[in-house]
Structure 1
Amino acid sequence: MAWANGGATRTTTKEHRRWAKAVLRRDGYRCVDCGYQGTAGKGDVNADHQTPVAFGGTTTLGNGRTRCVPCHKKKTGREAAEGRRRRRQRPAQRHPGIPVD
């Protein structure tokens, strides 16, 4: 989940790039899901938040995992579906102008 801030996104900050590089190095550029061996600088593997920031995850080394591009896309798709499901399950709120019974 990226956000814009004067043209910059959350993933282009120095802190995020430093975190991503540390995650990739720790995992040896190997996908934790399928075992694909990536190459440094090629862009075939990504640093991913195990628990997404949108669901309360943090950008810490312990919350980072290396995933190849296809596995990362699958996981992101599942997270997006979960986010849509969560939005649909919000309880209905009473209008503030309607008196309570």
Structure 2
Amino acid sequence: MSRREFSNPTKRDAAARANGHCEECGMRLRFGEFHYDHILPCALGGEATLENCQVLCHPCHKHKTSKQDVPQIAKMKRQRDAARGIRRNKQKIKGWQKFDGTPVRASRER
């Protein structure tokens, strides 16, 4: 699924609604120091509409993305794979190669 960006009119309307403040914490926004965020992420079916758009400061956007969006999307992908019968590889890494090409075996104590 491709990411759907907000149109310029949607961004203008969201910025007017926010009135120069972060819609999460209320911090005053400075020029160029904010993000237009999908309330419901595109990967979870969110549309690029004004109702799904919010203006966030950098810290709030980073927190929402890392603590809410990424875990929800990962869970959705795990559930989708489980429904399709796709399992994660549970086999542990037994060895690898160094950059010079010499093999390294994993120790038994992990």
**TM-score for the superposition, normalised by structure 1:** 0.67
Matched, 1:61 2:50: yes
**TM-score for the superposition, normalised by structure 2:** 0.62
User: What is the aligned-residue identity percentage?
Assistant: 31
Residue matched to 1:29: 20
CA 1:22–1:92 in structure 2 vs 1: closer, same or farther (change >3 Å)?
closer
Matched, 1:83 2:85: no
- Larger Rg: 1 or 2? 2
Gaps of 5+ in 2: 86-110
Distance in 2 (CA, whole Å) between partners of 1:56 and 1:50 is 11
Partner letter of residue 48 of structure 2?
T
CA 1:88–1:29 in structure 2 vs 1: closer, same or farther (change >3 Å)?
same
Number of aligned residues: 84
Q: CA RMSD in A?
A: 2.5
**Regions of 4+ moved over 3 Å:** none
Gaps of 5+ in 1: 4-9, 95-101
